[in-house]
Amino acid sequence: MRAAVLLRTGGTAAAAVLLLLLAERTLNEYHLRLLNVVGINVILATSLNLTNGFTGIFSLGHAGFMAVGAYAGTLLTFPVARKAMLLPDLPRWLAQVEWPFLPALLAGGALAALAAVAVGWPVLRLRGHYLAVATLGFMVIVQVLATNLDRYTRGALGINGIPPYTTLWWVAACVAATLVVLGHLLDSGVGRALRAVRDDDLVAQALGIPVARYRLGALTLGAGFAGVAGVLWAHLITVISPGAFSFLLTFQIVVMVVVGGMGSLSGSVVAAVLLTLVPEGLRRLEQGAVVAGLTIPPLFGLSQIVLACALVLVMIYRPAGLLGQAEVGWRHLRHLRDLRQRRLPAREAEERG
Amino acid sequence: MRTVVLVLALLALLVGPTWGAAQPIPIGALYGITGGMSSIDAPGANGMRLAAKEINARGGVLGRPIRLVVEDGKTDQTATTTAMSRLINVHRVVAVGGLNDTTFVLAAGPIAQKARVPFVTAGATAPQIPEQVGDYMFMAPFGDDAQAYVGADYAYRTLNARRAWILTDQAYDFTKTLTRFFKERWTKNGGTVALEDQYRGGDTDFSAQITRLRAQRPAPDLLFVSAVPNEAGLIIKQIRQAGIRTPIVSGDGFDTPLIVSVPGPELADNVHFTTHAYVQPDSPKPEVQAFIKAYRAAYNRNPENAFAALGYDTLYLIVDAIRRAGSTDRAKIRDALAATRGFKGVTGTITYEGGRRVPKKSVTVIKVTRGKLAFAAEITP
């Protein structure tokens, strides 16, 4: 059994590496860039689902945590020579650091997680709408801080010329790390405890689950991954400004989680991929065209309209999201095979149990 | 063997016509057509489309028509960068024009620079843009230094003001830069600054700032307001409602219908602002008249603001460079752009001097009297 798991994991990893190599060799810059954006959105959506979907903490602060990571990572990797020019008032210790990407990624994630602890401590006493509004407040505070801490952030001017370290490999590695950590966590006793906290925190407490600590832990971990995504994003776009980490961004991520299914990790992955690629696919339609002698005028804004309509339809016909709380993964593929072979060991075991 | 010949012949038949006909030259237009920048970026895109239509009607350039590929950056940094990448890698454009906001230009510019595609920003005015992005980055508008200098000179010489009150929006790169350059020229001219006050984009109540302004003794004889369109009208309204009739001077952030519609024609009085061109039907310049006529014919309305004219000029500037380069090679187009001398556009004459890729260009001053806009001066700093 152990060997089979190893084989499977190794096989998946090898296949993924091959696919990435193939992508890097054959795709143009535009498609590679899109893949990077997809990966970053996957990290953001799955990590938000940990709090919003699995733990029942409806957070609207994800863009704020992402901003913390983005600014922290940028200040650490930014070339010393350009720091002297763009950020002359940085404290000495910060002005003289120029870290490689990996430690900056980790530091960005860690700082965002730290911010989550600081915010979560008071805020997680709240529930429902109050919690949502409080986390939204955190996001606004981060934005205001980024606008006013001119010494560190250049305020509204933003920092440009960030080294473009983000490659497909970094993004893929971070996506893999996120999915593996979250997948294993949610499959473990901790994951079940988190779901118990979500479904009924009183019962969870009666069962001996330290509710407050678990909620704080979920928020912290989710924020950590958002911070990592922020560092990746900053080094992909190469410009950060406070305006980018707005309510709109938070909303986009929340939509991905809701559309994919609150409480479905694979649902978040599917939604992040779809909601990133579909608007790009619609670009061609937006530009207008001449089809069979008919001139279609340009329809800019079409992608947003189509997306909005799709959202409404999903909410009407699948209010729990595309996948609800179901998951698609290895185990489910195997289950399908078993179904075909009419063995159904899982079901039998369940009935016996 | 015979099948091979047959297949080749068929292929030749299929490919032949496209070989014979002139292939269109793809040029990119990147604008935030939807989202927060829409009110100035959409007219810009319309201006560029109008120019493309005119150029093709006159037979294109180098004997080939141009194909303008318009992409929407959605006023979002991620979407703007992917759109730039799509223009370069999918549409294989030979040059890109567009974008009116510095933040987005600084996000999209490095992508064009890396791919060595000339990129001309139609309306972003931060003078350090080309330096920060690289040698393939050009500006079609003047820099903020130029318009702030003209604002300061106009206030000192034409309005005869000596003592200024300065109000700056702290939320934008543009407003802070404008104030910095205005103050530099103002004090050099011999003017004094009574008080420097500030607010933050999104504020709606300026009574605290106005109270401090009224407390100034002697009273300032000039109000320099560095604002973006959103607050421009509100600030005028509240200052005038407080009974202060001192002249107000600002930059192209005031080039919006809001400065008249929000305060109303009674209060929108004695306001002066610098901008790219006076694009109104009563303009004295024939090239502006011609542009307005063409814009009306194409879109059934007057140009919304100067950014429509800037988009129009940007495409003509790029096509002019292609013609002088005699080639669609991107490096040659870049060199031709850098060598632009005395290019006559609707928004003024563009010359890139001494390796600078910010044009030396005239600045227009517009005066608002009782809600009516009028051309006041055209000054080359």
pLDDT tens track for A263-284: 999 999 999 999 999 999 888 8
- Residue B355: what pLDDT? 87
Per the CB < 8 Å rule, is B86 touching A244? no
Q: Supply the pLDDT for residue B301.
A: 93
Domains of chain A (ranges; CATH) run 2-291+316-326 (1.10.3470)
Please tell me whether residues B265 and B319 are part of one structural domain. Answer: no
Residues B233 and B372 occupy one common structural domain: yes
Range of the domain at B165: 145-275+364-379
Residue of B nearest to A298 (CA): B70
- The percent of residues above 70 in pLDDT, for chain A, comes to 91
Task: Residue A311: count other Cβ atoms within 10 Å of its Cβ.
Answer: 14
Q: What percent of chain B has pLDDT over 70?
A: 94
pLDDT, tens only, B229-268? 889 999 999 999 999 999 999 999 898 888 999 999 999 9
pLDDT band, residue B2 (cuts 50/70/90):
low
Do B258 and B302 belong together in one domain? no
The count of domains in chain B is 2
Residues B374 and B246 in one domain: yes
pLDDT value for B282: 86
Which residues in A have their CB inside 8 Å of a CB on B? 28-31, 33-34, 37, 147, 155-158, 160-161, 164, 233, 236-239, 241, 243-244, 248, 279-280, 283, 286-287, 298, 300-301, 304
pLDDT at B20: 47
Supply φ then ψ for residue B201, to 5 degrees.
-45, 130
φ/ψ of B164, rounded to 5, equals -105, 145
In chain B, which residue's Cα lies nearest the Cα of A284? B71
**pLDDT tens for each residue of B25-48:** 999 999 999 988 888 899 999 999
Render pLDDT for B193-237 as a digit per residue (tens, 0 to 9): 999 999 988 889 999 999 999 999 999 999 999 998 889 999 999
* Residue B34 shares a structural domain with residue B137: yes
Both structure tokens of B357 = 């890729």
pLDDT, position B235: 96
With a cut of 60, say whether residue B380 has pLDDT above it.
yes
pLDDT digits 0-9 by tens, A307-334: 889 889 998 999 888 888 888 876 666 6
Q: Are A287 and A229 in contact (CB under 8 A)?
A: no
pLDDT in tens, B330-363: 999 999 999 999 999 999 999 998 889 999 898 9
How far is B192 from chain A, CA to nearest CA, in Å?
A: 27
Q: Quote the pLDDT of residue B6.
A: 57
Report helix, strand or coil for A274: helix
Contact: B90, A156; criterion CB under 8 Å: no
Burial class (CB in 10 A: 0-12, 13-18, 19+), B202: exposed
Helices (H) and strands (E) in chain B, counts: 13, 14
- Contact list in B for residue A243 (CB cut-off 8 A) is 103
Q: Please, which residues have CB within 8 angstroms of residue B373's CB and are 6 or more apart in sequence? A: B260, B278, B280, B366, B367
Claim to verify: residue B171 and residue B130 sit in the same structural domain: no
What is the C-alpha separation between B118 and B24, in angstroms, rounded?
Answer: 18
- The answer for B243, left when phi > 0, alpha when psi is -120 to 50, beta otherwise, is left
C-alpha of B322 from chain center? 21
CATH code where residue B242 lies: 3.40.50.2300
pLDDT of residue B241: 95
| Residue B15 within a domain | no
In a domain, B280, yes or no: no
pLDDT at B8: 56
Q: pTM (2 decimals)?
A: 0.87
Quote the distance between the C-alpha of residue B337 and its chain's center. Answer: 18
In this prediction, residue B168 carries a pLDDT of 94
The reply to whether residue B170 touches residue A156, judged by beta carbons under 8 angstroms, is yes
Q: pLDDT exceeding 90 applies to what percent of chain A? A: 65
- Residue (of B323, B328, B317) closest to B359 by Cα position: B317
What pLDDT is recorded for position B93? Answer: 97
Query: What is the gyration radius of the CA atoms in chain A, in angstroms?
Result: 22
A85 pLDDT band, cuts 50/70/90, is: confident
What residue of A is the nearest CA neighbor of B78?
A237
- A286 contacts on B by Cβ (under 8 Å): 72
Instruction: Based on the fold, state whether residues B230 and B101 are members of the same structural domain.
Output: no
The pLDDT value recorded for residue A284 is 81
Q: What would the pLDDT profile of A27-78 be if each residue is shown by its tens digit? A: 999 999 999 999 999 999 999 999 999 999 999 999 999 999 999 999 999 9
- CA-nearest of B187, B169, B189, B165 to B178 is B169
Q: Determine, yes or no, domain membership for B11.
A: no
Q: B265 and B156, same structural domain?
A: yes
Residue B12 placed within a domain = no
Q: How confident is residue A300, by pLDDT bands cut at 50, 70 and 90?
A: confident
When pLDDT is cut at 50, 70 and 90, the band that residue A348 belongs to is low
Task: Check whether residue B251 and residue B370 sit in a common domain.
Answer: yes
Given this model, what pLDDT does residue B17 score? 46
Average of per-residue pLDDT across A279-290: 81
Residue B326 lies in a domain: yes
| Same domain, yes or no: B36 and B128 | yes
Helix, strand or coil for residue B163?
strand
Whether residue B239 contacts residue B199, with contact meaning beta carbons closer than 8 Å, is answered with no
Q: Which of A34, A161, A241 sits opposite B132 (nearest CB)?
A: A161
Contact (CB, 8 A) for B67 and B26: yes
Q: Do both B138 and B150 map to the same domain?
A: no
Q: Is the pLDDT of residue B61 over 80?
A: yes
Beta strand B372-379 pairing with B25-31: unpaired
Is pLDDT above 70 for B9?
A: no
Residue-wise pLDDT for B116-147, tens only, equals: 999 999 999 999 999 999 999 999 999 999 99
Which chain A residues contact residue B69 at CB under 8 A?
Answer: 287
Amino acid identity for residue B355 in this structure: G
pLDDT of residue B10: 55
Interface test with A, best of B27, B82, B125, B173 (most A CBs within 10 A): B82
Encoding tokens for residue A300? Answer: 């800019």
Q: Is the pLDDT of residue B16 over 50?
A: no
Q: With respect to residue B248, please indicate whether it lies within any of the assigned structural domains.
A: yes
Quote the pLDDT of residue A180: 94
Asked if B341 and B374 sit in the same domain, the reply is no
